[in-house]
Structure formats: structure tokens, C-alpha cells
């Protein structure tokens, strides 16, 4: 076969391939509920399970995955923390650019020590935040967190009904997406990779 014809065919195939990829490529759609426009994440300044004080503004440049729960939770909280652990694993090296934060809705039982013990069973790098109820109430309100203690006869074994939403705060400190409890881990990982890539390119 004529060499020129072969080269021409290769060029045509390459143009068709690149063109198809260009037209078929769809913009990434975030899996969570998008906050449009993103709003400045309300401040969080609380004692953490790492010992020192946690300031949300210190996390600028990183993505923060934020969850409200309590260590005595029998179902939603351990499941979400396990999901957060899976997210961290699937992000690989990129996980360094993401902070995982767990804010208590049960400050009476969730002390810094209790949070530290509890989070060690998932990942030591996760921040567990607690504080005075008055401080936390402001944060719960800012993030629209519903929280109600289920009354029973015991003062130590009560349950707390609470919001199970996961909040994504971007590198600029803006609340940009929220996720429902049952959002698949791979969808969240895909969103995080996309946002990290966007952050790198901007």
C-alpha cells in the first residue's frame, strides 16, 4: 500500500478519535447537592482530638469533609466514618489535600479524649471536635444541623437524633456541596478528585 495513503488514513483516524472524544466528553456533574453560589463556610474554632485547638480557616488550601455526629452513635456515625476512611484510601496521595472533620452533637459524653480514642479506630488523622454546648450550638445552627437527645431513663445510654449530611468545604473555605448519608463513596471520591483538579488548574 502506498505510504502516503497509510499516513493519510492514520491522520483521519486520529482526527476522528480526538474529535469524538472532544464532543463526547461531558462536564463533570457533582454527585452531591450543589450550593450555588458557594458560601463562606461558617467559622469553626474548637478543641480537637489531636490535643490542640482546631481552626477551620487554617485549612485553607485543603478540602474539608465535615460531618456532625457522636461517638456513641450505633449506626450512622460509624458508617459515615468508615466511608470517610474509604474515601481517604481511594484518594491515595491526594488525601493529603483533604481534611476529615467530625464535630460532635453530644458534647456531654464526647470529650477530647473520648473522640481521640474513638477516631483512632478509624484513622488518627481525622479531627474530632468538641467544646462547650453554647459554642457548638452556634456551629450547629450555622450549618443547619438538627440535633435532639432522645429522652430515656438512663443519663449515659441515651441516643441523639441528628443530621447525617456530609459537608464539602473547598480550598477557598467555601461550602460548595453537601452529600446525603447514602451517597456512594466512589461518587464522593470522583467529586473530590474533580475539585482538587479544578483547584490545581486555577
Interface residue list for another protein (CB under 8 A): 33-39, 141-144, 165, 175, 178, 180
- Kind of pairing between the strands at 159-162 and 98-104: unpaired
- Decide whether 29 or 51 has the Cβ nearer to another protein: 29
- Decide whether 175 or 189 has the Cβ nearer to another protein: 175
Cα separation, 83 vs 90, whole angstroms: 10
- Decide whether 61 or 144 has the Cβ nearer to another protein: 144
- Decide whether 19 or 144 has the Cβ nearer to another protein: 144
- Decide whether 15 or 180 has the Cβ nearer to another protein: 180
Find all residues with CB under 8 Å of 64, minimum gap 6, and list them.
Answer: 41, 56, 98, 99, 100, 101, 167, 168, 169
Least CB distance from residue 118 to another protein, whole Å? Answer: 26
Phi/psi of residue 37, each to 5°? -75, 155
Least CB distance from residue 134 to another protein, whole Å? Answer: 18
Least CB distance from residue 188 to another protein, whole Å? Answer: 15
- Decide whether 52 or 182 has the Cβ nearer to another protein: 182
Cα separation, 59 vs 55, whole angstroms: 7
76-91 helix and 185-201 helix, angle to the nearest 10 degrees: 50
Least CB distance from residue 114 to another protein, whole Å? Answer: 28
Q: Alpha carbon 138 to chain centroid distance?
A: 21
SS3 state at 175: strand
Least CB distance from residue 143 to another protein, whole Å? Answer: 8
Least CB distance from residue 35 to another protein, whole Å? Answer: 5
The string of DSSP codes covering 93-117 is GGGGGEEEEEEES-TTT--HHHHHH
Helical H segments across 92-184, by residue range: 112-120, 133-142
Amino acid at each position: 500500500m502506498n505510504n502516503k495513503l497509510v499516513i493519510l488514513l492514520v491522520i483521519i483516524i486520529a482526527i476522528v478519535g480526538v474529535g469524538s472524544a472532544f464532543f463526547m466528553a461531558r462536564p463533570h456533574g457533582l454527585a452531591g447537592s450543589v450550593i450555588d453560589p458557594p458560601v463562606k463556610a461558617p467559622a469553626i474554632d474548637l478543641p480537637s482530638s489531636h490535643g490542640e485547638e482546631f481552626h477551620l480557616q487554617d485549612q485553607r488550601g485543603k478540602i474539608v469533609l465535615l460531618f456532625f455526629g457522636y461517638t456513641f452513635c450505633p449506626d450512622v456515625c460509624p458508617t459515615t466514618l468508615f466511608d470517610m476512611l474509604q474515601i481517604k484510601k481511594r484518594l491515595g496521595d491526594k488525601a493529603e489535600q483533604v481534611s476529615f472533620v467530625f464535630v460532635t452533637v453530644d458534647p456531654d459524653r464526647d470529650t477530647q479524649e473520648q473522640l481521640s480514642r474513638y477516631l483512632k479506630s478509624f484513622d488518627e488523622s481525622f479531627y474530632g471536635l468538641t467544646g462547650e454546648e453554647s459554642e457548638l450550638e452556634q456551629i450547629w445552627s450555622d450549618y443547619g444541623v438538627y440535633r435532639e437527645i432522645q429522652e430515656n431513663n438512663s443519663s449515659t445510654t441515651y441516643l441523639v437524633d441528628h443530621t447525617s449530611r456530609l459537608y464539602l468545604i473547598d480550598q477557598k473555605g467555601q461550602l460548595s456541596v453537601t452529600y446525603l448519608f447514602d451517597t456512594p463513596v466512589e461518587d464522593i471520591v470522583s467529586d473530590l478528585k474533580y475539585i482538587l483538579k479544578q483547584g490545581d488548574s486555577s
